[in-house]
């Protein structure tokens, strides 16, 4: 008995972007880098009217949230949430930091990851995906990555860049990003 989702439509820029939206961490937060990417549709065209949102743990794998059974931890300069609309070339850029490992549903640690929501005209509900880190040994034991077939798994692993990591999102087609439901 929930309220159904509806598309964010083409005009969300009127209400949703914030001046500090792209900053999951303060600009000078220790270890901060840029998470950048392009959003592509099923024809390989850039999507210039998407909104990317992220949510993640802090570098110690903790959340400033009352439901974290280990207790909430507030870290100065760390919000863990960011939102960024794509530009006319379909690109987004978010300032963030590498999260620590986080317990999964059974308490076992998952490899560092960033949860991502994709909202856009033409999406009747958000798409959810995850960013994993390149050269992360824990990826090999991550229970979520293990459920995804080995070829498609690569779509969840970011690439290293000069100023951080790149994570492109393909909504449909040959290199379609793995999207989750929960």
Stretch that binds other proteins, among 13-21, 89-97, 133-141, 158-166 (CB under 8 A): 13-21
180: how many CB neighbours lie within 10 A of its CB? Answer: 14
Nearer to other proteins, 31 or 71 (CB): 71
Grouping H, G, I as helix, E, B as strand and the rest as coil, residue 145 is helix
Task: Say which residues have a Cβ less than 8 Å from residue 57's Cβ, sequence separation at least 6.
Answer: 63, 80, 99, 100, 102, 112
Stretch that binds other proteins, among 30-38, 46-54, 131-139, 158-166 (CB under 8 A): 46-54
Nearer to Fe ion, 7 or 161 (CB): 7
| Residues 4-23 contacting Fe ion, CB under 5 A | 9
- Pairing between β-strand 164-166 and β-strand 159-161 as defined by DSSP bridges: antiparallel
Please pick, from the candidates 38, 57, 94, 111, the single residue that binds other proteins as defined by CB under 8 A: 57
Nearer to other proteins, 9 or 163 (CB): 9
Nearer to other proteins, 32 or 40 (CB): 40
Q: What is the DSSP letter of 93?
A: E
Grouping H, G, I as helix, E, B as strand and the rest as coil, residue 131 is strand
Grouping H, G, I as helix, E, B as strand and the rest as coil, residue 101 is coil
Nearest to 111 by CA among 69, 166, 162, 153: 153
Stretch that binds other proteins, among 26-34, 50-58, 90-98, 133-141 (CB under 8 A): 50-58
113 binds other proteins (CB under 8 A): yes
User: Which of other proteins, Fe ion, none does residue 134 bind to, with CB < 5 to 8 Å depending on kind?
Assistant: none
- Pairing between β-strand 81-85 and β-strand 50-55 as defined by DSSP bridges: antiparallel
Q: Cβ of residue 178: shortest distance to other proteins, in angstroms? A: 6
Binding site for Fe ion (CB under 5 A): 9
């Amino acid at each position: 008995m929930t309220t159904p989702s509806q598309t964010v439509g083409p005009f969300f820029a009127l209400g949703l972007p914030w001046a500090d939206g792209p900053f999951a961490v303060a600009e000078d937060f220790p270890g901060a880098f840029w998470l950048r990417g392009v959003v592509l549709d099923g024809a390989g065209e850039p999507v210039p009217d998407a909104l990317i949102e992220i949510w993640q743990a802090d570098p110690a794998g903790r959340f400033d949230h009352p439901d974290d059974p280990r207790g909430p931890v507030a870290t100065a300069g760390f919000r863990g949430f960011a939102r960024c609309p794509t530009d006319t070339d379909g690109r987004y850029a978010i300032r963030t930091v590498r999260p620590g490992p986080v317990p999964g549903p059974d308490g076992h640690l998952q490899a560092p990851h960033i949860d991502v929501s994709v909202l856009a005209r033409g999406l009747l509900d958000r798409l959810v995906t995850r960013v994993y880190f390149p050269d992360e040994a824990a990826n090999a034991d991550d229970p979520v990555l293990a459920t995804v077939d080995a070829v498609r798994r690569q779509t969840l692993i970011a690439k290293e860049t000069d100023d951080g990591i790149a994570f492109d999102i393909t909504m449909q087609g040959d290199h379609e990003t793995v999207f989750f439901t929960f």
